[in-house]
Amino acid sequence: MTHLALFSILLFLGHAIPSAPGVRPWLLSLLGRPVFMTLYSILSLAILWGFVAAYRGVENNWQLFPPIPQAHLVLTLLMPIPIFLVIGRMTTKASDFSQAISAKGIYRITRAPGSVGLLIWASLHLLATADAKRVVTFATLALIALYALLKNEWVLRRDPGEGAASYRNSTSIIPGAAIVGRRQLLSISEIGVGRVLATIAFFALLLWGHPLIFGVDPLAWLAG
């Protein structure tokens, strides 16, 4: 557990420090984008490899608390939501505040689909987790997502441009809040049927491969 805790800290710092406001632009200007991206990728992969190795090497994995009843049922039913948000983020160009571009597609649902998706994903797994190494793992991922969310909000609120203010006022972090508040309209055409189908396909693949890769069956709750 000591190694897992150490690499959890490194995993968080490896994301937080290079992306911190002021740090990333400074590193890009100092090293140049190709060198920065190469070094950042190597460092991230090295830390991730160490994290996975430490996770697999945990021997004294103890239960921290009794499992929450029906947590796996909730996890399974709600997992398509973070999958949809992350796929939407990965396949949709972010808004350019300097040009006052309004939110489109997945950004109408939430202005931080990637961070919110990862936070929901990690939080759902924390609800269905009771052993030490998984709690440490998903708590670390939740912390990374929360940091990214707070950092991006800080940058957005400090942007003096009218585009940033308009974007902030017309969108919401909470998924669907801006639509319910009539500050946005849900546009299925902008999101695209392809992203919905990709979500369904990835969810099905996850249900099939989860027991093989992670040793946990998401559908085990169906047996009792």
Instruction: Report the largest interatomic distance among the alpha carbons of the chain, rounded to a whole angstrom.
Output: 58
Task: Quote the pLDDT of residue 34.
Answer: 86
Report residue 38 as tokens: 């190469």
What residues are paired with 131 via a beta bridge?
63
Residues 56 and 138: their CA atoms lie apart, in Å, by: 15
Q: List own/partner pairs for 155-159 with CB under 8 A and 24 or more apart.
A: 155/21, 156/97, 156/111, 159/97
DSSP string for 54-106: HHHT-----B-SPPPTTHHHHHHHHTHHHHHHHHHHHHSPPP-GGGTPPP-GG
Place of tokens 């049922």: 73
Query: Over the chain (224 residues), what is each successive 10-residue block's mean pLDDT?
Result: 86 87 83 85 90 82 79 89 93 68 83 93 89 88 94 86 82 91 87 92 91 78 64
CB distance 172 to 101 below 8 Å? no
Mind giving me the DSSP string for 117-157?
A: HHHHHHHHHHHT--BHHHHHHHHHHHHHHHHHHHHHHHHHH
pLDDT of the residue at 189: 87
The pLDDT of residue 56 is 81
Q: What is the pLDDT, as a whole number, of residue 99? A: 56
Contact in structure between 107 and 156 (CB atoms under 8 Å): no
